[in-house]
Amino acid sequence: MKILNIAIIIVSNTRTHETDKSGKKLSEMISNEGHVIVAKEIVKDDIYAIRKVASEFILNKEIDSIILSGGTGITGSDGTPEAIEPLLDKIIDGFGELFRLKSFEKIKTSSLQSRALAGVANKTFIFVLPGSIDACKTAWNEIICHQLNSETKPCNLVMLMPRLKE
């Protein structure tokens, strides 16, 4: 299996490194798959602050994937999708759809409140997840871990990495 370098961005106006349970769970799940956490930041839910950190990670050629958690709801302070979408070269539409389907199995129609999304920017895969631990576990265990595993058949995102340079 190819080992990937992954950065985590937690979007929250209240969490600290000590109180951030979702970020800790993401770090644990990612590490358990053998990947390397190369950076982890907590950023206020401000589209420009999110874009700044995400852009720095996107420009870092050592980072293969970025996972953001938080700020995907529909309240006035939720701005992660608006921050990230303009940075994407391509959107992976199926990710949001599949995430909401998997979430529906657990939380029923409340899943429509999630604006989870994924895409590619500068050859870096980016995943935007809700901030709850359960949402992070669902996204990682049901979707992301398989697509960031070079041994997943019939295909996975890792096998596309060399072709992103075309």
pLDDT tens, position by position, for the chain (166 residues)?
999 999 999 999 999 999 999 999 999 999 999 999 999 999 999 999 999 999 999 999 999 999 999 999 888 889 999 999 999 999 999 999 999 999 899 888 878 888 999 999 999 999 999 999 999 999 999 999 999 999 999 999 999 999 988 8
Distance in angstroms (rounded) separating the CA atoms of residues 101 and 42: 28
Verify cis geometry, omega within 30 degrees of 0, for the bond prior to 154: yes
Reading phi first (left if > 0) and then psi (alpha if -120 to 50, else beta), residue 12 is in beta
Select from 3.30.70.330, 1.10.1760.20, 3.40.980.10, 3.40.190.10 the CATH code of 5-165: 3.40.980.10
Is the entire prediction scored with pTM above 0.95? Answer: yes
Which residues are 42's β-sheet partners?
10
Distance in angstroms (rounded) separating the CA atoms of residues 164 and 134: 31
Reading phi first (left if > 0) and then psi (alpha if -120 to 50, else beta), residue 126 is in beta
At a CB cut-off of 8 Å and minimum separation 6, what does 53 contact? 9, 41, 43
